[in-house]
Structure 1
Amino acid sequence: MATINQDYSRLQDEALLLNIVRRSASLPAHFTTVTTIRGRSRVFAGANLSVPFGGDAPSDFSFNPHMSVEQGPGFDVSTQDNQEFYRGYIAPISTASLELMLRQDHAPELVLSLFLESAHIQGPEGAERFYNNPSKPAEFERFQQLVNRLVDQGISMETVLLVSPYGPELELEQAPSLDQLISARKENLLIETRGEGRYQLTESVESARFCFALPSEALFKRARCKLENKKEFQLGDPDFFGSVGGNRVYFEAEGIGKLELSTRSLADVFDYLGECVREQEKGKLLTTRTQAGELPIIRVLKGPTTDAVVNVEFAGDRYSIPSGLDGGQSGAVLSMVSQLLSQAQSVENMPNNSINLIGQ
Structure 2
Amino acid sequence: MSLRLRLLALALLPGLVACSLGGSIAENSIAYNGTMQAATDTLLVVNVLRARDQAPLHFSTIGAIHGAFTLSAGFGYDLSHSAGLAQPALLASTNPSFDIGPLDRQEFARGLLRPIDPVLLRLLSDQGLPDQVLLYLLVSKFDEGPGGRIIANDPARRQALDPDAEAACAEAGMEARPPCDPFQAVVDRLTRFGRLRFNGYTRLIPLGPPLSRAEATAPDRLSMLKEPGITLRRAGDGWQLYRAVNQLVICIPGRPGSSPPFTALALDNEPPQISPITQEGDPCSADEVADHAIHAGRAAPSGLAWYLRSVDEILHYLGAVQRRGEEGTAYRVSIPRPGGGQARPRLFRLWQQPPARPRLAADYRGTRWYVAQQDEAEDQTLRVLALTTQLLNLQKSAGEIPSSGTLRLVR
Which residue in the other structure is 2:379 paired with?
A: 328
Pairing 1:103–2:126 present: yes
Which of residues 309, 312, 331 is equivalent to 1:264? Answer: 309
Alpha-carbon shift at residue 333 of structure 1 (Å): 0.5
From 45, 63, 70, the equivalent of 1:17 is: 45
d(CA) in 2 for partners of 1:200, 1:91:
36
Is this contact kept in 2: 1:118–1:129, CA < 8 A?
Answer: yes
The amino acid of 1:272's aligned partner reads Y
- Mapping 1:45-194, distance limit 5 Å: 70=94, 75-120=98-143, 129-138=150-159, 141-161=181-201, 174-175=219-220, 185=228, 189-190=229-230
Change (3 A) 1:40 1:304: farther
Structure 2 counterpart of 1:137, which letter? R
The one-letter code matched in structure 2 to 1:208 is: L
Identical aligned pairs, as a percentage?
Answer: 20
1:296 aligned partner, one-letter code: R
Counterpart Cα distance in 1 of 2:191 and 2:365: 40
Alignment RMSD? 4.8
Aligned-partner residue type, residue 97 of structure 1: L
Deviation of 1:11 after TM superposition, in Å, equals 2.6
**Residue from 259, 262, 267 that aligns with 1:224:** 262
Larger mean Cα displacement after TM superposition, 334-343 or 284-293 = 284-293
**In the alignment, is the contact (CA less than 8 A) between 2:52 and 2:320 conserved in 1?**
yes
Specify whether residues 118 and 79 from structure 1 end up closer, same or farther in structure 2 by C-alpha distance, changes over 3 A only: same
Preserved CA contact (<8 Å) 1:78 1:351: yes
Secondary structure at 2:200 match in 1? strand
Report what 1:289 is aligned to. 334
CA offset at residue 21 of structure 1?
A: 1.0
| Higher Rg | 2
| Distance in 1 (alpha carbons) for counterparts of 2:386 and 2:315 | 13
Query: In the alignment, residue 204 of structure 1 is paired with which amino acid?
Result: V
Distance in 1, matches of 2:125 and 2:33, equals 26
Unpaired stretches in structure 1, ≥5 consecutive residues: 52-64, 166-172, 194-198, 226-238, 355-360
Give secondary structure in 2 for the equivalent of 1:212: strand
Matches of 2:33 and 2:232, distance apart in 1: 51
Measure the CA separation in 2 of the matches of 1:10 and 1:164. Answer: 50
Instruction: Evaluate the alpha carbon distance shift between residue 45 and residue 11 of structure 1 in structure 2; reply closer, same or farther with a 3 A threshold.
Output: farther
* Change over 3 Å in CA distance of 1:278–1:255 after alignment to 2: closer
Other structure's SS at 1:33 match? strand
Q: 1:20 to 1:216 in 2, by over 3 A?
A: same
Aligned residue number for residue 242 of structure 1: 267
Q: 1:217 to 1:248 in 2, by over 3 A?
A: farther
The separation in 2 between residues aligned to 1:319 and 1:201, in whole angstroms, is 58
Return the structure number with greater strand share: 1
Higher relative contact order (CA 8 A, sep 6+): 1
The answer for unaligned runs of 5 or more in structure 2 is: 1-25, 80-88, 160-177, 206-217, 234-239, 279-298, 406-411
8 A contact 2:115–2:310 mirrored in 1: yes
Instruction: Tell me how far 1:288 sits from its aligned partner.
Output: 0.6
Question: In the aligned structure 1, how far is the partner of 2:57 from the partner of 2:41?
Answer: 14
TM-score (normalizing by structure 2): 0.61
Between the aligned partners of 2:272 and 2:301, the Cα distance in structure 1 is 24
- Cα displacement (A) at 1:248: 4.2
Question: 1:44–1:69: 8 Å Cα contact kept in structure 2?
Answer: no
Q: In structure 1, how many angstroms separate the alpha carbons of the residues matched to 2:230 and 2:277? A: 28
**3-state SS, counterpart of residue 13 of structure 1:** helix
Q: State the Cα deviation string for residues 140-186 of structure 1 (Å, max 9, x = none).
A: 73322221111123352424257699xxxxxxx944889x96x855x
CA contact (8 A) 1:92 1:247 kept: no
- TM-score, normalised via structure 1 length: 0.68
Structure 1 SS opposite 2:107: helix
Q: Name the SS of the counterpart of 2:304 in structure 1.
A: strand
Q: Which moved more, 1:290-299 or 1:151-160?
A: 151-160
- CA-to-partner distance for each residue in 1:47-105, whole Å, 9 max, x for gaps? x99x9xxxxxxxxxxxxx99785587x65332222222222211122210111121122
